[in-house]
A and B are shown apart, each in its own frame.
Chain A
Amino acid sequence: MTIAAVLMLVQHAYDAQVPVHGAPWLWFTIIKILVVFTVLMVTIAYLTLAERKISAWIQDRHGPNRVGPRGLFQPLADGLKNIMKEETYPSAAYGPLFILAPVMSFIPALITFAVIPFAAPLPTPWGLVDMSIADLPVGFLYILAIASLGVYGIVLAGWSSNNKYALLGGLRSSAQMVSYEVSMGLAAVSVLLLSGNVSLSSIVATQIQTGWFAFPLLIGFFLFLVAAFAETNRLPFDLPEAESELIAGYHTEYSSMKFSMFFIAEYSNMVTASALLTTLFFGGWAVPFWTTVDTAPWHWWKTLITLVFFMIKTGFFLFLYMWIRWTLPRFRYDQLMSVGWKVMLPIALGYLVIMAAAVLGLEMAGIAPTARLGGFVPIYWAILAVLNIVLAILVFVVLDRGRLVSPAYARVGAVELAELRAMAMRRPPLTPAQGD
């Protein structure tokens, strides 16, 4: 109890208006930080194993299977190896930033998770404890803000290495992240339209009342998903570290634990992005069709069940990341930029206008978000879902006309064929090199 008393005094010294006998939130926060950090690090370690096992499964081979039963201790061996390896310092590198860069990509990746609510509140003898480290009133904006800082680590790694491949990787990454951040933010604004608040706990609370946002905001969800892949630098958007062109991109010059920190940052960004997709579009920790668990009065078993559901949903998106990585080839750099600026951004802007008009229209028609037609069908949600499906068909059929989403095995379209022929006609004839 003495530690609790000390913490209470520290708390009082921070804010004298809070009564000394109040709930020791500082105490709970410290415990939550320790637990979440540990769980996150272990998850990341085992995600590397999962990635290798899934890639092996997709490519029909065994994957790591030597360390421990079925290769289960492989992450420990990898960690040990990374610590024991020699650290190299390129002589031409800019020292302070070369050391700072891995840290600057590692820290933002970890602290974004702080605002994500991962379970129903837990009742304790000292009051209700929120199951997120800090339920910030600006939760979603905090995530956007911190996620936008992740690029510093990559850019500075590329610049300070004083290596042309690393610099190209860093430049690509900064251009890519700035481009896709805009679409990501705009896609998420549609969520904020429905929830009416930027705090993540109230976004989850709204979804418990009205249903998941993935269906009434289908296009917004897909835009966010694509932008999240681009922001985490995962395939098909891993241009900053494209092996076939840039050796290893921004981390070419790094070795041992500093190299490993870039990987930990990438995987923790993946975890945060998956948790964010779950929270914004799939009801967060809410259990579908079981309102008893999702609503007060709270109980410890409710916290447990909702935690498990949160993990399942997040795990699904993590699997999706890996599935896509081992299925799709990498974009070309100009394709990446044109998808970002010429496709994603106009669609996101237009979508936002249409959704805002639809929400306003439903409000004027007097349909409440919680209204149920015949006591069962969520009418608000259904109207928006139908609107989204119509919009999706319009986007794919009318706007696209088979140019962008035509599959790789399809025949070349008439338009593209004409363009290719025109390009071939424009090209000057090849001249023999000197001395031939």
Chain B
Amino acid sequence: MPNGFVFEFLFYLFGLIAVVSAAIFVTRRNPVAAALWLVNTMFCLAALYIMMDAQFVGAIQVLVYAGAIMVVFLFVVMLLNLGLPPSVADLKGKGARIFALLAGLIMLAEVMVLVRQKLPAELAWLPRETNVTTPITDSLFRTYLLPFEITSVLLLVAIVGAVVLAKRRG
């Protein structure tokens, strides 16, 4: 991983854009604009992954989230021609808001604790591979084959369930 001044500058720049876009995303009332700000966040995350030499994860981030999932979101938003909702807040009532604030603070504390921990030495520096897919396929299809397959079955169940629910209502 490079460690020069420009690298650090770019790291914080992309991080800042990601956080700001995420904040704008949750406060927009227009669903299409909100979706596009989310795409912007995804892009910055992909840039951060690639800067940290996780190029496969970066490419998949753009391909799957920005290129497929968000396109389908936009498709649905446009097809249904959703207007502006009366209020952007999902949380109604004082109790729910206080609970959300507490949950947020707990998560922030967790992140703070994690940031203070040192990375294990072997994680901090991995040699650069010429074939970037090999390490990922190794762990997906050898070490963690069973959990991986179970996850895919879970997704399949979700899809079949969605189809069944949609059919029943009609």
Tell me the A124-141 residues at the B interface (CB within 8 Å).
136-138, 141
Known: A148-B63, A167-B78. A16 touches B68 (CB 8 A): no
Quick check: A16 and B3 within 8 Å, CB to CB?
yes
CB of A144 within 8 A of chain B? yes
How far, in angstroms, from A197 to B6 measured CA to CA in the complex?
Answer: 31
Quick check: A13 and B78 within 8 Å, CB to CB?
no
CB of B131 within 8 A of chain A? yes
Quick check: B75 and A171 within 8 Å, CB to CB?
yes
Quick check: B32 and A13 within 8 Å, CB to CB?
no
Give the chain B neighbours of A178 by CB distance below 8 A. 68, 71-72, 75
Tell me the B123-148 residues at the A interface (CB within 8 Å).
129-133
Of the candidates B2, B71, B79, the one whose C-beta lies within 8 Å of that of A148 is B71
CB of A12 within 8 A of chain B? yes
How far, in angstroms, from A178 to B71 measured CA to CA in the complex?
Answer: 8
Of the stretches A43-51, A151-159, A221-229, A348-356, the one at the interface is A151-159
Tell me the B22-44 residues at the A interface (CB within 8 Å).
32-33, 36, 39
Give the chain A neighbours of B5 by CB distance below 8 A. 13-14
Q: Which residue of B lies closest to A139 (CB)?
A: B59
Give the chain B neighbours of A147 by CB distance below 8 A. 67
Quick check: B55 and A138 within 8 Å, CB to CB?
yes
Quick check: B79 and A171 within 8 Å, CB to CB?
yes
Quick check: B71 and A138 within 8 Å, CB to CB?
no
Known: A148-B68, A178-B68. A10 touches B6 (CB 8 A): yes
Quick check: B75 and A137 within 8 Å, CB to CB?
no
Give the chain B neighbours of A18 by CB distance below 8 A. 2
B41 to chain A, nearest CB (A): 15
How far, in angstroms, from A141 to B58 measured CA to CA in the complex?
Answer: 10
Tell me the B77-129 residues at the A interface (CB within 8 Å).
78-79, 129
- CB < 8 Å A-B pair total: 107
How far, in angstroms, from A144 to B61 measured CA to CA in the complex?
Answer: 12
Of the candidates A16, A96, A197, A198, the one whose C-beta lies within 8 Å of that of B4 is A16
CB of B20 within 8 A of chain A? no
How far, in angstroms, from A115 to B77 measured CA to CA in the complex?
Answer: 33
Quick check: A145 and B2 within 8 Å, CB to CB?
no
Give the chain B neighbours of A97 by CB distance below 8 A. 32-33, 36
Known: A138-B132, A141-B60. A155 touches B67 (CB 8 A): no
Quick check: A145 and B62 within 8 Å, CB to CB?
yes
Main secondary structure of the interface of B (DSSP, over half): helix
CB of B74 within 8 A of chain A? yes
Of the candidates A96, A137, A177, the one whose C-beta lies within 8 Å of that of B131 is A137
Give the chain B neighbours of A146 by CB distance below 8 A. 62
Of the candidates A15, A167, A174, the one whose C-beta lies within 8 Å of that of B3 is A15
Give the chain B neighbours of A155 by CB distance below 8 A. 71, 74-75, 78
CB of A266 within 8 A of chain B? no
Give the chain A neighbours of B131 by CB distance below 8 A. 137, 196-197, 199, 202
Of the candidates B63, B68, B74, B79, the one whose C-beta lies within 8 Å of that of A141 is B63
Known: A138-B132, A142-B59, A159-B32. A171 touches B4 (CB 8 A): no
- 10 smallest beta-carbon distances between A and B, as pairs: A148-B67, A15-B2, A141-B59, A145-B63, A145-B62, A14-B6, A16-B4, A137-B132, A13-B6, A138-B59
Other than A94-B32, A145-B66, A151-B71, give 6 A-B pairs with Cβ distance below 8 A: A14-B4, A144-B63, A159-B78, A167-B78, A171-B78, A197-B131
CB-defined A-B contacts under 8 Å, sample of 29: A12-B4, A13-B4, A13-B7, A14-B2, A14-B4, A14-B7, A14-B10, A15-B2, A15-B3, A15-B7, A97-B32, A141-B60, A145-B62, A145-B66, A147-B67, A148-B68, A149-B62, A149-B66, A151-B67, A152-B71, A155-B74, A155-B78, A156-B74, A158-B78, A167-B78, A171-B75, A174-B71, A178-B75, A199-B131
- List chain A positions with a Cβ less than 8 A from chain B: 10, 12-18, 94, 96-97, 136-138, 141-142, 144-149, 151-152, 155-156, 158-159, 167, 170-171, 174-175, 177-178, 181, 196-199, 202
